[in-house]
Amino acid sequence: MASALRGAILGHVRVPIRTLDRLGSLSCLQTSIRSMSSHGDDHLTREEVVDRVLDVVKSFPKVDPAKVNPDVHFQTDLGLDSLDNVEIVMALEEEFKLEIPDKEADQIVSCPLAVEYIAAHPMAS
């Protein structure tokens, strides 16, 4: 008797399933796209990466900003030390909120390498 009552209530309350026509499927699609969500919009474009990397390198006190272009090698073109290289890589890590493993940080010795690494990193922001 309780189960019959439950069945009656459920049949009353339950919304009948209806198949959607084409228009209905479009409106359903609208609600599934989160149009006001800002998730995942911090993918960097390559020009933005280049600009920010060049800004970081130019603001390094031991560097002459006029010599900095996107193909520059830190030690041969800019006359920096290997320890200066380490400092530049740390400044890039701070700028792009990255954590670069030690082995790979040792190999970032020029601007194009830095831009390649950051542009290919999924978590750069």
Partner 1 sequence: MSAAGAAAGYLARRAAQKERVRLLYRRALKDTLTWAVNRHHFYQHASDLRDKFEANKHAEDLDTIDRLIQDGEAKYEKLQHPDPYIVPWAPGGSKFSRNLPPPAGIEIVYDFGKEDD
Q: Which residues bind partner 1 (CB under 8 A)?
A: 7, 10, 14, 82-83, 85-87, 89-90, 97-99, 102, 105-106, 123
When the beta carbons of 69 and 79 are compared against partner 1, the nearer one is: 79
Provide the token pair at 53. 């990397």
> ∠ CA 111-53-97 to the nearest 5 degrees?
120
Q: What is the DSSP letter of 43?
A: P
Provide the token pair at 57. 């390198």
Q: Can you tell me the distance from the alpha carbon of 115 to that of 80, in angstroms, rounded to the nearest whole number? A: 18
Known catalytic residues are 81
Output the smallest distance, CB 67 to partner 1, in A: 22
When the beta carbons of 25 and 82 are compared against partner 1, the nearer one is: 82
Q: What is the DSSP letter of 55?
A: H
When the beta carbons of 26 and 86 are compared against partner 1, the nearer one is: 86
Output the smallest distance, CB 97 to partner 1, in A: 6
